[in-house]
Chain A
Amino acid sequence: AQKITQTQPGMFVQEKEAVTLDCTYDTSDPSYGLFWYKQPSSGEMIFLIYQGSYDQQNATEGRYSLNFQKARKSANLVISASQLGDSAMYFCAMREASGGSNYKLTFGKGTLLTVNP
C-alpha cells in the first residue's frame, strides 16, 4: 500500500479563492510528521508547512494551513487567497519515527495546482 496518497493529479482555482489539496497517509507508527512542499517549474522543493502527529492544533503558516484529521489519516493543505505565483506542483510527505529512520521523507505523487487570473 502506498504510504502517501494524493488523489488529485491536477487542480484549478481562481485567483484570490481558497483551495484544498488532499493527502491521506498510511502508517502504524504513533509518532510521525507530515509535510507539504511546493515545487515550481524551476524544480526546487520549497518547504511550506509541518504537522507533528502529537500536535494538538492544526499547523498554520501565513496563507497555508494544514487540516489534520488524525482518525481519518488525512492531512489536507489549504491555501487561502490564491495567487498566480502559487501555480506549481505540491507534494505531501511523511516522516515516520520508528526504526531509527526518522529523517527519511516519503512523498506522494503530487498535485499540479493552476491558479487562473
Chain B
Amino acid sequence: GAGVSQTPSNKVTEKGKYVELRCDPISGHTALYWYRQSLGQGPEFLIYFQGTGAADDSGLPNDRFFAVRPEGSVSTLKIQRTERGDSAVYLCASSAAGTYNEQFFGPGTRLTVL
C-alpha cells in the first residue's frame, strides 16, 4: 500500500508570506506527527494528532505555526508570516492506533524562506 505522502516536496517562499504543507498518512493510521529537521540536525517534534484532535502541540515554536487534521486523515501544517529561520525540512509521520513502536515517515517538504 501507499506510504506517507507530503506535498509539495519543495517550497520556496519570501519572508512574511503564508505557507501550507500537506501530509497524507497511511490509510487507517489514526496517529499523525509533524517534525522539523534543520540542517545538520535530527528531526524535532512539533505536534501529534490522535484522530482529529491535536493531543500535543508543545513542540510548535510559536503561534505562527498551526496544524489541522479536520477529518482525521490528511493534515495541513500552516505557517504564517514566515521567517528565514523557518527554513527546514518538515517531516510527517503516522502510526497505527495503539502502537507507537513504529512511526512511518514521509519524504518531507523542504521549505526555504528567502
Contact = CB atoms under 8 A, between A and B. Distances in A.
Interface of A: 4, 33, 37, 42-47, 50, 91, 93, 95, 101-110
B40 A45 contact: no
A44 B48 contact: no
Contact of B56 (A4, A33, A37, A104): A104
B101 to A, nearest CB: 5
Given A44-B108, A103-B31, A103-B48, A93 B56 contact: no
Interface of B: 31, 33, 35, 40-45, 48, 55-56, 59, 89, 91, 93, 95, 100-108, 110
A50 B102 contact: yes
Contact of A91 (B42, B56, B89, B102): B42
9 contacts: A43-B89, A44-B105, A47-B102, A47-B105, A93-B42, A103-B31, A103-B55, A104-B56, A104-B59
Among A33, A93, A105, the most chain B Cβ lie within 10 Å of the Cβ of A105
A101 B40 CA distance: 26
Contacts, number: 56
Nearest to A89: B42
Contacts of B110: 43
Contacts of B103: 47, 105
A95 B102 CA distance: 11
Give me the 4 closest cross-chain CB pairs, A-B, nearest first. Answer: A107-B42, A45-B105, A44-B107, A103-B100
A109 B93 contact: no
A105 B43 contact: yes
